[in-house]
Amino acid sequence: MLVVVCPQPDGTVVVQDVDRAQPGLPVVATETVEVEALPALVRAREAAASPTGTAPDAGLRWVWADTAATYPALLDADVRVDRCWDLRLCRTILRGSALTARTPYASAPRSAWDEARTAAAPEGLFDLTPPVALDPLRELRDQQRALTAAVGEDGRPESSRLWLLLAAESAGALVAAEMTFAGVPWDVVEHDRLLSELLGPRPAPGFRPALLEAKAAQVSAALGVGEINPDSPVELLRSMRLAGLPATSTRSWELQQIDHPAIAPLLEYKKMSRLMTANGWHWLDTWVAGGRFRPVYVPGGVVTGRWASDGGGALQLPHQVRSAVRADPGWVLVVADAAQLEPRILAAMSGDEAMATAGQAADMYEGMVATGAVATRQQAKFGMLGAMYGGTQGESGRMLPRITRAFPQALALVEAAARAGEQGEIVSTWLGRSSPLPSAEWRSAHSAAGAEGGSAAEQEAVRAQARSWGRFTRNFVVQGTAAEWALCWMALLRLRLRALSETVTGGPHLAFFLHDEIMVHTPADLADQVVEMVQETAHEAGRILFEGSPVEFRLTTAVVTAYSDAK
DNA sequence: CACGGCTGCCAC
DNA sequence: AAACGTGGCAGCCGTG
């Protein structure tokens, strides 16, 4: 059963039951409640639904415009849901997918549904009412029609993969809201200790902590051209040149090449300053409360389908501060990392037999060495990164011919994606998320160059642009499909964990996600069971996406008290 | 003085 | 000073 949630301008919510088994998605029951009564209604409906099955259509599926606007208030009322259909996220996929490109849904002009979501809901129980009236039921039916009409390049129906993508994307939205709700367990005392040790005690506002101040003075003294502010690139570069250093920028990797007594303290200063500004006391005050770090995740925020984050820098949590991520007393963190995810994804997508064989090994790069294609793990790694990113220089470029000979099908797949991009065509992930078209400027420059005219320099600039977009599309298919695997993994794991507790935070729950890595916060006595679930769901995600593929999606797992002990 | 672009560094 | 993909974020700095 699909249950459509339609907020009304008068502060009520119309809840419609839609029978998804019947054509046209007829409404079979309607109920109207005050918005304050919605959590109770959802709780009751979830409790009454048949026990969670593993079939994608089992039980209830809540249909709403936007999980991020609706679900947090339900969670605050201690209400969880099993499944949803996030109309906004699904719309983005369906409007852009090559599989639905020939449907009226994809070619319809932009509407209020396409406008960016309004910022996070203000204080108060609910802010469901969108700025412009949206009709979720109608949108659902339009999406369902487009999905049914999806066809592959060969013209044959191709809706099942797309359906899986929509379900996984929506499940991801639930996971994101639940993770923000639960938060990452954060030890403020440990964080402050770490900051004090590295930077000096917390200073008064507007002042540098003592050790950072001392380091700045050390840099000035070593340069010997007066007191400088190392945070100012302009001032720093000028001073370095004045002191006779051959620097052309203030980047660490370039400074490392220079032999001068000011360099060591300067690099240390940069490291300390970065810690201070990115994850210092101000960050702690802003993002950590009640022993929890609560970042805002943005599912589907990256074109490839990866998540983005909005505030808190969740997806760039430096290793330097991970000792402050600490399980509650009596609880532990189960940290699992998909090993060589993208190479495995490429092996499975392309059906390359030799690469798939390598992809059965616990360490895929070692597996590639074992096939005899390359001599060392390092060569395998650089070669694969070059293949997936479009590298041509250095170790990556040198390894490419060998990799191509050993794994021809895999390389053919990424090469085809690159060629398509260079010609301004779109490419798609395994489940059917498609890349955007290049910008109008890109396309007009491309066609103008093709029509000749233009200087040699102009033509070369256009070719460089084309190659650049080719590297994007080359990477898109792999990165995007890896994101799909990760979504399926999390969605499956979430439902398994759910069975272990009554509420989100009452038992094992997902606490953090980073592209190919997840963290579960769990009571210590359930850790072994959680590890098993994490492993099983990784395997299952591989099966759902790549039925019959011999590639194994291996994990490294760790059960730890502090995140810093995970690897 | 506000704001947007740039620089540099963090994550995968 | 880039090369070889996707991002976020803080602080600097030039501009209107």
A309 CB closer than 7 A to any strand B atom? no
Nucleotide nearest to A296 (CA to C1'): C8
Residue A125 has pLDDT above 90, yes or no: no
Nucleotide nearest to A274 (CA to C1'): B9
Nucleotide nearest to A316 (CA to C1'): B11
Residue A57 has pLDDT above 60, yes or no: no
| Rounded Cα gap, residues A255 and A245, in angstroms | 9
Residue A202 has pLDDT above 60, yes or no: yes
Residue A161 has pLDDT above 60, yes or no: yes
Q: What is the residue-averaged pLDDT of chain A?
A: 91
| Rounded Cα gap, residues A398 and A409, in angstroms | 19
Output the pLDDT for position A116: 63
Output the pLDDT for position A447: 80
Which chain A residues 93-112 have CB under 7 A to strand C?
none
Residue whose structure tokens are 């078209």: A437
Q: With the C-alpha atoms ordered A429, A433, A434, A435, is the resulting torsion angle positive or negative?
A: negative
Output the pLDDT for position A119: 45
**Would you give the DSSP letter of residue A562?**
B
> Band of the pLDDT at A59, cuts 50, 70, 90?
confident
Closest CA to A211 of A202, A203, A199, A221: A199
Residue A129 has pLDDT above 80, yes or no: no
> Band of the pLDDT at A120, cuts 50, 70, 90?
very low
Output the pLDDT for position A159: 93
Within 7 Å of a protein beta carbon, the nucleotides of strand C are: 1-14
Rounded distance in angstroms from the CA atom of residue A207 to the C1' atom of nucleotide B2: 24
| Rounded Cα gap, residues A59 and A41, in angstroms | 16
Q: Where is average pLDDT lowest: A47-61, A233-247, A256-270? A: A47-61
Count Cβ atoms within 10 A of the Cβ of residue A100 and give its class: 0-12 exposed, 13-18 middle, 19 or more buried.
Answer: buried
Which chain A residues 337-396 have CB under 7 A to strand C?
385-386, 389-396
Residue A50 has pLDDT above 70, yes or no: no
Residue A131 has pLDDT above 70, yes or no: no
A238 CB closer than 7 A to any strand B atom? no
| Rounded Cα gap, residues A137 and A64, in angstroms | 9
Average pLDDT on A206-234 reads 91
Which chain A residues 42-101 have CB under 7 A to strand C?
none
A316 CB closer than 7 A to any strand B atom? yes
Q: Which residues contact A18 (CB under 8 A, 6 or more apart)?
A: A1, A2, A3, A4, A25, A26, A27, A28, A63, A137, A140
Rounded distance in angstroms from the CA atom of residue A529 to the C1' atom of nucleotide B11: 29
> Band of the pLDDT at A221, cuts 50, 70, 90?
very high
Kindly report which amino acid residue has its CA closest to the C1' atom of nucleotide C4: A391
A251 CB closer than 7 A to any strand B atom? yes
Rounded distance in angstroms from the CA atom of residue A285 to the C1' atom of nucleotide B4: 27
Kindly report which amino acid residue has its CA closest to the C1' atom of nucleotide B7: A233
> Band of the pLDDT at A128, cuts 50, 70, 90?
low
Q: Where is average pLDDT lowest: A115-124, A385-394, A465-474? A: A115-124
A11 CB closer than 7 A to any strand B atom? no
Residue A526 has pLDDT above 60, yes or no: yes
Tokens coding A99: 């599989």
Count Cβ atoms within 10 A of the Cβ of residue A467 and give its class: 0-12 exposed, 13-18 middle, 19 or more buried.
Answer: middle
Question: Could you tell me what percent of chain A has a pLDDT over 90?
Answer: 75
Rounded distance in angstroms from the CA atom of residue A250 to the C1' atom of nucleotide B6: 13
Radius of gyration of chain A from its Cα atoms, rounded to whole angstroms: 26
A313 CB closer than 7 A to any strand C atom? yes
Nucleotide nearest to A249 (CA to C1'): C1
> pLDDT tens digits, residue range A75-119?
999 999 999 999 999 999 999 999 999 999 999 999 989 876 654
Beta bridge partners of A512: A519
Beta strands in A35-132 (DSSP E): 61-64, 84-86
Residue A434 has pLDDT above 80, yes or no: yes
Evaluate whether A306 touches A475 at the Cβ level (below 8 Å).
no
Which chain A residues 320-339 have CB under 7 A to strand C?
none
Q: How far, rounded to the nearest angstrom, does the alpha carbon of residue A211 sit from its chain's CA centroid? A: 36
Count Cβ atoms within 10 A of the Cβ of residue A188 and give its class: 0-12 exposed, 13-18 middle, 19 or more buried.
Answer: middle
Q: Which helix (H) or strand (E) holds A293?
A: strand A292-293
> pLDDT tens digits, residue range A389-403?
988 888 888 888 889
| Rounded Cα gap, residues A347 and A481, in angstroms | 12
Average pLDDT on A537-548 reads 96
Output the pLDDT for position A153: 87
A342 CB closer than 7 A to any strand B atom? no
Backbone angles phi and psi of A256, in degrees to 5: -60, -30
Evaluate whether A13 touches A5 at the Cβ level (below 8 Å).
yes
Output the pLDDT for position A453: 64
Residue A533 has pLDDT above 80, yes or no: yes
In the 3-class helix/strand/coil scheme, how is A103-123 assigned residue by residue?
CHHHHCCCCHHHCCCCCCCCC
- Can you tell me whether residue A560 is helix, strand or coil? strand
What distance, in Å, lies between the first and last C-alpha atoms of chain A? 44
* A281-288: Cβ within 8 A, 24+ apart: A281/A192, A281/A195, A281/A202, A283/A312, A283/A313, A284/A188, A284/A191, A284/A192, A286/A312, A287/A311, A287/A312, A288/A186, A288/A188, A288/A191
Output the pLDDT for position A395: 83
| Torsion of Cα atoms, A224 then A230 then A234 then A238, to 10° | 10
Rounded distance in angstroms from the CA atom of residue A381 to the C1' atom of nucleotide B11: 19
> Band of the pLDDT at A207, cuts 50, 70, 90?
confident
Within 7 Å of a protein beta carbon, the nucleotides of strand B are: 7-12
Tokens coding A58: 């089992």
> pLDDT tens digits, residue range A304-338?
999 998 888 888 899 999 999 999 999 999 999 99
| Rounded Cα gap, residues A214 and A199, in angstroms | 10
